Structure 1
Amino acid sequence: METDNVNVEPQITLRRDRSGEQHWTIYDPASDRYSTFRTPDEVLIWLEERHRR
């Protein structure tokens, strides 16, 4: 029996740039794309929109 261990959940990483500003990077394995957001609200909107697809 073969199992598929592919994770299709988005991976969210909080980072800080050189000036100390934080931003969130999301990798979406379903589309193989990265998106970057400046606020947690933007991340939530992206997640809600992705869930609706």
Structure 2
Amino acid sequence: NPLKRVRRSGGDVPVPKGLKVRRLHKAFLRYHDPNNWPMLREALRRMGRPT
């Protein structure tokens, strides 16, 4: 919940640790880079999204 304060006793935050997941997250952040388009298209297809 973004309206609540962040505390030490709060819930866990998932951290992507696999190399593929980290690269995919970076590709989504840099979606305007043509080098990332093939990876993003494949990920969107797996999610069932139109490309």
| TM exceeding 0.5 | no
Q: TM-score, normalised by structure 2?
A: 0.31
Give the structure with the higher percent helix.
2
Bigger Cα Rg: 2
Q: TM-score, normalised by structure 1?
A: 0.30
Higher normalized contact order (CA 8 Å, seq sep 6+, divided by chain length): 1
Give the structure with the higher percent strand.
1
